[in-house]
Amino acid sequence: MINIHIKDKFYQDKKILENINIRVNEGEFLSIIGPSGCGKTTLLNIASSLDKDFNGKVTISSSNIGFIFQDHRLIPWLTVKENLLIISKEKDINQINELLNIVGLNDILDIYPKNLSGGMARRVSFVRAFINKPKVIFLDEPFISLDYPTATSLKKDFLNLCKKFNTTVILVTHDLSEAIYLSNRILFFSKNPANQILEYKNLNNQEFNSFNELRALTSHVLEKAYLCQNNFEDKFEDICEAYKEIFPFIKDIEIMQTELNIPNSDGKKLYQYMYRIHEDGVEDWIYQEQISSGMKKVFLQLCYLLLSPPHSVFLIDEFENGFGVNCIDAISEWLLKPNMKYQFIITSHHPYIINHIPSKRWKIVSRNKNIIQAYEADQFLDESNHESFIKLINLPIYKLGASTNIDN
């Protein structure tokens, strides 16, 4: 637990901070956002005891803390191994390798910092911060100078390390989307002298005992995807990877939560959930309202397939509607995966769908006046899928439909 009370803090004759009172619970991730120069870094330095020249008091329940700066601050004349061993209490190479593996680094122990990329050096600095299993970590805009893919990957690695050690975190950032993605709670600070003007609690960043507990929720599928993104990153990554297989130009996907200013009789806050994508060669995010209807439908279908409870039954009318040809085969493959443990009942007259699903799973439905009948496909078809399809579209019960009298 961290308690920060700052009556005031001056730099020369200028008041930087005023009336700051912050309490951070064990295991909580708190982000602090404010305009440049408002004193966020000064606050972090005071909280971590790097700056003791202030009026007030800071108490931290553990002396085992870590700090991650805006740059990596590795000692240039030491190798990666030496940079990590110099502060490691246990001097355990196996532990160092384990932490390096968590952040996706291998075989770099004997490399000097000058031979590391910016992203690799930053990952090493994260490992250094966790090397002594800290109870508290302070971060001063550690992702600010990284390119988007590297920063996104590193944020996921950092969250994995926090979960491993149940670390309490205070992050200073100017990036609101970053704070929402990482944090349980966000404090917004004013200009100098800085003080807290707004607090945002991420109420939906809740804990689940298991993935199946999340799948059992009856919430809208995008809300479940948002909760999955924040609680089961590997499962959300499965959705993203499936989406990227169909649309390989997509680099990243993010679900966003927005509070709605709508009165609610039970007093609960209402939220809207939307998603956005980041494409190769496009600098800005593309938001849901700008995404094609077919791409949106594919994403929602994948969310339903991966986030519904086991043994769910899906009833899908005109399955192919809204899908491009490139999507139909991919989604059909997901339907047929043996580990899905779902039951699907779909209607279709699209050749891509019919040809993709084995004919033994077909039911042929025909209507004669006001009588609708379903036939087993093997009553009429016993060839390969393609041959069965050609034969199917020439059957009277398929070709002429309601106008045909069927002789059983």
Amino acid identity for residue 341 in this structure: K
For range 298-310, the mean pLDDT: 87
Distance in angstroms (rounded) separating the CA atoms of residues 33 and 36: 9
Amino acid at 275: Y
Rounded-to-integer distance, Cα 258 and Cα 405, Å = 56
Q: How far apart are CA 311 and CA 27, in angstroms?
A: 35
Evaluate if residue 393 carries a pLDDT over 70.
no
Residue 348 pLDDT grade (very low, low, confident, very high; cuts 50, 70, 90): confident
Cβ atoms of 196 and 30 within 8 Å: the answer is no
Classified as helix, coil or strand, 385 is helix
Q: Does residue 204 or residue 327 have the better pLDDT?
A: 327
Binned at pLDDT 50, 70 and 90, residue 77 comes out as very high
**What integer pLDDT is reported at residue 161 of this predicted model?**
81
Identify the burial level of 159 via C-beta atoms within 10 angstroms of its C-beta, where 0-12 means exposed, 13-18 middle and 19 or more buried: middle
Phi, psi (degrees; rounded to nearest 5) at 102:
-60, -35
Query: What pLDDT does residue 45 have?
Result: 84
**Rama region for 145: left / alpha / beta (φ>0; ψ in -120 to 50; rest):** alpha
Which segments of 190-239 are extended strands (E)?
196-201
Q: Could you write out the DSSP letters of every residue in 11-60?
A: ETTEEEEEEEEEEE-TT-EEEEE--TTSSHHHHHHHHTTS---SEEEEEE
Dist. CA 299–CA 297, nearest whole Å:
5
Residue span(s) of the chain under CATH 3.40.50.300 come to 2-201
Calculate what percentage of the chain has a pLDDT beyond 90. 2
Q: Looking at residues 305-310, what average pLDDT do you find?
A: 84
300 vs 297: CA distance, rounded Å = 5
> Which of the listed CATH numbers 2.60.120, 3.30.460, 3.40.50, 3.30.2420 matches domain 211-357?
3.40.50
pLDDT of residue 381: 64
CATH of the domain spanning 2-201: 3.40.50.300
Closest listed residue to residue 123, CA positions, set 89, 72, 76: 72
Residue among 24, 19, 25 at smallest CA distance from 7: 19
d(CA 137, CA 66) in angstroms, rounded, equals 5
- Statement: residue 97 has pLDDT above 80: yes
Confidence of residue 405 (pLDDT cuts 50, 70, 90): very low
- Alpha helices of 140-199 — where are they, by DSSP H? 148-165, 176-182
Q: Is the pLDDT of residue 220 over 70?
A: yes
Cα torsion through 279, 283, 289, 293, rounded to 10:
-20
Mean pLDDT, residues 252-258? 87
**Residue 309 DSSP code:** P
Q: Count CB atoms within 10 A of the CB of residue 390.
A: 14
How many Cβ atoms from other residues are within 10 Å of residue 122's Cβ? 25
Average pLDDT over residues 348-377: 75
Q: Could you give the 3-state DSSP secondary structure of residue 213?
A: helix
Reported confidence tier of residue 408, pLDDT bands at 50, 70, 90: very low
Mean pLDDT for all residues in the chain? 79
CA dist., res. 283 & res. 73, Å (int): 29
Residue 258: phi, psi to the nearest 5? Answer: -130, 130
- pLDDT reported for residue 269: 66
Among 162, 339, 287, 139, CA closest to 233: 162
Express each pLDDT in 133-190 by its tens digit: 888 888 888 887 777 777 777 888 888 888 888 888 888 888 777 887 788 788 888 7
| pLDDT tens track for 102-114 | 787 878 888 888 8
Q: What's the start-to-end Cα distance of the chain, in Å?
A: 77
In this predicted structure, what is the pLDDT of residue 407?
Answer: 43
**What pLDDT sits at residue 403?**
38
Backbone angle region of 322, left / alpha / beta, with phi > 0 → left and psi within -120 to 50 → alpha: left
Alpha carbon 253 to its chain centroid, in Å, reads: 8
Please determine, for residue 312, whether its predicted confidence score (pLDDT) is greater than 80: yes
Which one, of 233, 146, 238, lies nearest residue 182 by Cα?
Answer: 233
Instruction: Give residue 316's Cα distance to chain centre.
Output: 27
Q: Which residue has the higher pLDDT, 355 or 393?
A: 355
pLDDT-derived band at 397, boundaries 50, 70, 90: low
Q: Which of helix, strand or coil describes residue 316?
A: strand
pLDDT in the model for residue 281: 86
Strands 250-260 and 270-279, by their bridges, are antiparallel
Strands 286-287 and 270-279: antiparallel
Res 215 pLDDT > 80: yes
